[in-house]
């Protein structure tokens, strides 16, 4: 992705100093203090926006999505990316464009295995990715820390400390990246094992219990391989491996009565060939060792519930060699109403292109495909179902742990933005002072208040029957 901003400065062959000067010029148009503002439309209808997202989803699963959003202000926030995009569209953009994650809340960061088999920390959800002004991601991330912190019982002061931390580490990391060659930025990543070793060397006696818990989670992550997922999600029946049913969350293709399972399986086998073409040549060769033998529909996440997500079981002719891939439907980004349209005709390709651009290392099986369906064409992106996946238990984090997590997320988001945007202009715009940090902290607190009101409004809409919700699933 080359943003309009990038194209402009590259065409003019601007120096680093000239690009920094542009960043400072933007500050006159959009002062750092302006990021504290929350501007709302007079016709704002958060419930209506949530209901609008039900269009094109599996009707039977939409109430499950609403039920998961109903649980708490934080779960509502996770499913309300469209609501926040509409609100952010009312602010004056900096025009400092990057590849946005589009839904950069703190639960969309985590650890996974890199191709060189190291556990790395990065952004891990790109369903809403699109190019846009950098501050949209920063504000989405910052507000999520306040919403989650309040759910965990943090005081207003503790929440503000956490948010200032995420904004400061984003700002300082961007300034560090502006002082580095682009190759150094491209290679930069957070290696979990290295982080733990550094933490172990400085840990205080009171923190040893916390360190032990982290090491325990790391040990568990190393067991979360494709083969472990196969052992959990499949069983051998009459000599044939099958995906285990767990309706309505996991439903094998042969149990979907509304479709011809054998015909669809044949279509999917053909689609796998198309997906194969989106992989690098060496990974195509690797994929050729497997053949598709089973498919099931799977409900995933909070915001994604209702979209079509398929588990694909691929097996080798060699005993006990199998692979689980996930094909997840890619719908238009929640940001697409308010930002320039994607340059990619396939929404799955949009997700994959954004992910490859923002992540330091991506899944070797990451690709996309397009399928024909009764209600029209559907775009998907494909990845391994599980490969050392590790996420923080947000609800268990105390203020100290969440502040540490904020540092990781702030640095990681800056690294992702520095890869795709103008790091010199961004660093100059953000500056050395804490004015940006304080403004974002104020915005986050105000928006968390708004989100709490939205959650209450959503709850009332469920009670009144305007919104159908199914809880406990």
pLDDT tens digits for range 436-459? 999 999 999 999 999 999 999 999
Percent of the chain predicted with pLDDT > 70? 87
Closest by Cα among 213, 214, 71 to 151: 71
For residues 170-192, average pLDDT: 96
For residues 352-358, average pLDDT: 97
Give whole-number Cα distances, 191 to 217, 292, 365, in Å. 15, 33, 21
For residues 157-178, average pLDDT: 98
CA atoms within 13 A on the CB side of 368: 21
Instruction: Determine the Cα–Cα distance for residues 19 and 418; give it in Å rounded to an integer.
Output: 13
CA angle, residues 68, 349, 128, in degrees to nearest 5: 35
pTM of structure: 0.90
Among 22-26, 114-118, 211-215, 227-231, the range of highest mean pLDDT: 22-26
Q: 360 falls in which pLDDT band (50, 70, 90)?
A: very high
For residues 76-87, average pLDDT: 96
Please give the pLDDT value at position 225.
67
Q: 1 falls in which pLDDT band (50, 70, 90)?
A: very low
Instruction: Determine the Cα–Cα distance for residues 86 and 431; give it in Å rounded to an integer.
Output: 28
Instruction: Determine the Cα–Cα distance for residues 249 and 228; give it in Å rounded to an integer.
Output: 19
Phi/psi of residue 447, each to 5°? -70, -30
- Range in 246-260, 409-423, 450-464 with the lowest mean pLDDT: 246-260
* pLDDT of 2 higher than 50: no
For residues 130-138, average pLDDT: 98
- Range in 121-125, 206-210, 375-379, 384-388 with the lowest mean pLDDT: 206-210
For residues 255-284, average pLDDT: 78
- For 83, residues 6+ apart whose C-beta sits below 8 A from its C-beta are 46, 49, 50, 454
Please give the pLDDT value at position 4.
44
The encoded tokens of residue 381 equal: 């992106």
């Amino acid at each position: 992705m080359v943003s309009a901003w990038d194209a402009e400065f590259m065409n003019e062959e601007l120096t680093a100093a000239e690009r920094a000067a542009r960043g400072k010029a933007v500050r006159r148009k959009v002062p750092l203090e302006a990021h504290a503002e929350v501007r709302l439309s007079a016709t704002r209808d958060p419930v209506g926006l949530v209901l609008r997202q039900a269009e094109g989803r599996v009707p039977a699963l939409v109430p499950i999505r609403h039920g998961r959003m109903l649980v708490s202000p934080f779960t509502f926030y996770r499913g309300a990316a469209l609501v926040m995009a509409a609100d952010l569209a009312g602010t004056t953009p900096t025009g400092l464009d990057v590849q946005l994650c589009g839904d950069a809340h703190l639960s969309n960061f985590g650890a996974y295995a890199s191709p060189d088999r190291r556990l790395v920390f990065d952004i891990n959800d790109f369903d809403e990715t699109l190019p846009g002004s950098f501050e949209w991601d920063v504000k989405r991330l910052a507000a999520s820390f306040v919403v989650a912190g309040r759910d965990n019982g943090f005081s207003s002061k503790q929440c503000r400390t956490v948010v200032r931390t995420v904004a400061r580490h984003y700002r300082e990391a961007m300034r560090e990246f502006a002082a580095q060659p682009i190759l150094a930025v491209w290679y930069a990543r957070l290696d979990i094992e290295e982080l733990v070793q550094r933490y172990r060397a400085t840990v205080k006696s009171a923190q040893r219990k916390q360190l032990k818990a982290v090491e325990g989670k790391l040990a568990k992550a190393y067991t979360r391989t494709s083969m472990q997922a196969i052992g959990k999600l499949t069983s051998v029946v009459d000599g044939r491996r099958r995906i285990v049913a767990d309706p309505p969350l996991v439903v094998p293709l042969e149990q979907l009565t509304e479709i011809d399972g054998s015909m669809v399986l044949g279509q999917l086998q053909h689609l796998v060939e198309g997906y194969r073409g989106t992989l690098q040549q060496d990974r195509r060769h690797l994929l050729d060792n497997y053949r598709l033998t089973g498919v099931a529909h799977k409900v995933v996440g909070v915001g994604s519930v209702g979209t079509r997500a398929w588990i694909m079981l691929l097996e080798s002719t060699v005993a006990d060699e199998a692979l689980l891939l996930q094909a997840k439907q890619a719908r238009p980004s929640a940001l697409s109403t308010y930002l320039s349209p994607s340059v990619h005709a396939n929404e799955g390709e949009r997700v994959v292109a954004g992910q490859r651009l923002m992540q330091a290392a991506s899944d070797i099986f990451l690709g996309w495909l397009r399928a024909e369906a009764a209600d029209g064409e559907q775009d998907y992106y494909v990845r391994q179902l599980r490969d050392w996946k590790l996420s923080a238990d947000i609800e268990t984090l105390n203020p100290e742990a969440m502040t540490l997590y904020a540092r990781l997320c702030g640095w990681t988001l800056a690294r992702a933005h520095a890869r795709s945007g103008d790091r010199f202009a961004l660093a100059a715009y953000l500056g050395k002072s804490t004015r940006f940090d304080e403004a974002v902290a104020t915005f986050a607190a105000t928006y968390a208040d708004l989100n709490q009101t939205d959650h209450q409004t959503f709850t009332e809409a469920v009670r009144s029957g305007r919104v159908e919700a199914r809880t406990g699933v």
